[in-house]
Amino acid sequence: MVIAVIDGLGGGIGAEIVARLRQELPLEVEIIALGTNAIATEKMMKAKANRGATGENAIRISIREADFIVAPLSIFIPHSMMGEVTPGIAEAVALAPGYKLVLPIAQPGFEIMGLEWKPISKQISQAIQIIKEKVGLPLE
């Protein structure tokens, strides 16, 4: 199983996702860190991702091998993250065949209707539970 984690800007959310995935899933699960910038990729690698790549072309190519994609909502919004998300990145992630787990983190100018606000740690826990359910791993 391959899980791609995508993040940008400072990479803090992506690093937290990678660290939690590494703690809660078997070691044979491969985690790919895909950063919109080198700092985000580096932080996710320090959190124990197996491999990492940075930038639009790396994301466009690497995202195809992921069974699951975990990312903040902004990765689907062209020009978000202060312009780091190119239209090509947004399109590649949206069209990738992997099952997408989207964290509804607020973006300037966007409000997600109908969702109850939850701390990021609870959103990550929920994403991990969904992955475990989909692949038949024991739930906690």
Tens place of pLDDT per residue across the chain (140 aa): 999 999 988 999 999 999 999 999 999 999 999 999 999 999 999 999 999 999 999 999 999 999 999 999 999 999 999 999 999 999 999 999 999 999 988 777 878 888 888 899 999 999 999 999 999 888 87
Of 74, 32, 34, 71, residue with least CA distance to 54: 34
Show the domain range for 22: 2-135
Is 140 within a domain? Answer: no
Is 39 within a domain? Answer: yes
Decide if 44 contacts 11 (C-beta within 8 A): yes
Is 101 within a domain? Answer: yes
* Domain total of the chain: 1
The Cα–Cα gap between 19 and 81 comes to 22
Is 15 within a domain? Answer: yes
Q: Which domain CATH number covers 93?
A: 3.40.50
Is 28 within a domain? Answer: yes
Is 29 within a domain? Answer: yes
